[in-house]
Amino acid sequence: MGLELGLSLGAATTKKGGEYDFIIIGGGPAGLTAGIYAVRKNLKTLVIEKSEFGGTVNLTFEIENYPGFRRISGAELAKKFHKHAADLGVEFSSDEVKEISKDGNWFVVKTWEGEYRAKAILLATGSRHRELGVPGEKEFTGRGVSYCAVCDAPFFKEKTVAIVGGGNTAVKDALYMAEICSKVYLIHRRDQFRADELDISELKKKQNVEFVLNSVVSEIRGDTKVNSVVVKNKETNEEREIQIDGIFIDIGEIPNNELAKMLGVELDARGFIKVNDNMETSVQGVYAAGDITGKLTQIVVAAAQGAIAAVAAYEYIRKPYWVKN
């Protein structure tokens, strides 16, 4: 059990409004890195986060592909990002943006606690988990159906679980659950994975992991809680009912694009924000970075996009000599 303290650090910081050069909405790796770059350019910068600073990084058990850290927990890396930004003078508010609009050259950001004005905005609002949309899923959410392995793993110690998905999250979750569960089924609709090959080969070594490939979940069954999952093989059309105690759904994300829509920012067909190489959106002064851009959902990518966005916002706000009009 995690006996460390202060994982939700910064949560009690809530501001009441004010004027800023740069307001970043979303405190994940993209937002926090943008904050670091922006304050080093001397922009008065605020990061607004409605949940946990670090964003979905907090949901990762172990990260092994962020340079400089051979192996680090998501919670720990999130905390380091936040500390780095805080030490450099980034301001934070734990609050939720309810409304965003443009007023001349300014952006007006309304939250639960106050009203802010900013010269430029970064939308780093990330994404949320996608649902399977099969019978039983909604009914048994919290009763065996889970979207958060770090939250709910302890309930399935020495039990049998299924994990659905073929990306990094699914494979990482399967690796973790294989350590504590008696049996883990990994259900994936293809016979190949998008996850890192190193993790897949590690998973293949586990005696208690069974791969259920080319298969889709057609139903989750149970009484008071989940008892089984019905999967259908896409090639043979054969259905199979697997007895399980829990099922973790890791099938990707949908964009948190509500604020982008309020600003009239152009989205792609999947609802992610369209950006150019400078992380500029279709609305001048509005930038986007991280998972909301629909690119590779990796911490290092989000951080890099945050850096690019912050520098572009600086050039837009301050018009330094090297920027041609």
Partner 1 sequence: MIEIDPQTKQFVENSFKNLNNPVKMIFFKGQNCQYCDAIKEILTTVQGLAPEGKILYEEHSFEDENDLAKQLNVDKAPATVLKAGEKKVYFYGVMSGYEFGSLIEDIVDLSTDEVKLEDETIKFLEKIKDDVRMQVFVTPTCPYCPRAVRMAHKFAMINPKIRADMVEAIEFQELSNQYMVSGVPKTVLTVNGEDVDSLVGAAPEPYFLDFLKKNIKV
Contact footprint for partner 1 (CB under 8 A): 1-14, 51-52, 54, 58-59, 75, 79, 83, 86, 96, 112-113, 141-146, 148, 150-156, 224-225, 245-246
Least gap, CB of 87 to partner 1 (angstroms): 8
- How near is the Cβ of 74 to partner 1 at its closest, in Å? 9
d(CA 297, CA 139): 29
Residue 72: CB minimum distance to partner 1, A: 15
Residue placing its CB nearer to partner 1 in the complex, 112 or 190: 112
CA angle, residues 49, 64, 60, in degrees to nearest 5: 40
* Count of beta carbons in the 10 Å neighbourhood of residue 6: 8
Rounded to a whole number of angstroms, the minimum distance from the CB of residue 52 to partner 1 is 4
Q: How far is the CB of 15 from partner 1 (least distance, A)?
A: 12
Catalytic residue among 87, 95, 103, 148: 148
Give the integer Cα–Cα distance in Å for 165 and 131.
11
Contact 156, 177 (CB under 8 A): yes
Choice between 156 and 287, CB closer to partner 1 = 156
| Nearest residue (CB) to partner 1, 115 versus 268 | 115
Catalytic residue among 152, 173, 245, 291: 152
Pair 61, 74: CB distance under 8 Å: yes
Burial call 255-285: b when 16+ CB within 10 Å, e when fewer: bbbebbeebebebeeeebbebeeebbbebeb
Cβ closest to partner 1, residue 129 vs residue 240: 129
Min CB(268)–partner 1 separation in Å: 27
Q: Could you say which of 87, 151, 191, 268 is catalytic?
A: 151
Closest CB to partner 1 among 6 and 104?
A: 6
The smaller minimum CB distance to partner 1, of residues 59 and 186, is found at 59
66, 300 contact by CB (below 8 A): yes
Active-site residue, 152 included: yes
Orientation of helix 168-180 relative to helix 197-204, angle to 10°: 30
Q: How far is the CB of 257 from partner 1 (least distance, A)?
A: 17
Q: How many CB atoms sit inside 10 A of residue 94's CB?
A: 22
- Which residue, 224 or 276, is less far from partner 1 as judged by CB? 224
Task: Determine the Cα–Cα distance for residues 283 and 95; give it in Å rounded to an integer.
Answer: 24
Residue 256 to residue 36: CA distance in whole angstroms: 23
Among all residues, which ones are annotated catalytic?
148, 151-152
